[in-house]
Structure 1
């Protein structure tokens, strides 16, 4: 996990961050930690986070999810998602979780043994997101790829309202025809 924080008092923030990391280590929540103290160290750590090419080489058949969850549900979600993935998607290549967790956005990715496994994983992932009160899309929108899963995070009434608004704003259906609604 790569964590960062920003505040107006760097010295106070550093002490707080060190205490949080120490408590997590002592409590067994994390096994190891590195705290960057120099700008160059921070940059090197963030390069690892931004290196999607290496992940794509590791995960030849990759699937990723841009989802959101209430921050208060994240721990329970994390405790549930890995065992469910292990049970229901044989041969997956691990789970990577990235994102600005503090505001509820998550990027989940895993490597799969076959392209067909994507169809097996999507309903599992979106049902778990729904179970914890999340949304199947955070900052990247719905789009064509996940349009058919929208019901996992929107009620029938919400979907009907979306269709009503689409019809009112685009009565001829010429704006992005057939894309989401």
Structure 2
């Protein structure tokens, strides 16, 4: 068994409700919409699946502080890109998709097919959808900017209401 990993978390208020941001010593690693026992359980399941051994600690760190500050700026309409370090856990394909999602311009949307083509796997639309669904850093990695080929808002970990809010908010900011 590997070294125990400390996963720190902090809860912030936002226009879409509480957001829990978690980080390791290397950067932010997980975002959950909400707070309290259900979110703590979700964070624990995520950590148990991906880390050899972990300890959840409700404490601000440099990375959670930066993440909360940048999210506040995002919700104030003053930030369109995030610079806080990320500690991503996933397959090589998932990480490739997540990097591509970060290239979708603020206030714009791309279809799953567009993302599949951009990562060099034009027939892997379902796999792109799966990677999008497993994105651990919602908002920071803007999976909310991915829509169905017919323009429909399909799936979002935080729910379609939050996805709609984020897309409308970004469109309003860019004019």
Same structural fold, with TM-score higher than 0.5 when normalized by the shorter chain: no
Q: TM-score, normalised by structure 1?
A: 0.30
Q: TM-score, normalised by structure 2?
A: 0.31
Query: If each structure's strand is expressed as a fraction of its own residues, which one has the higher value?
Result: 2
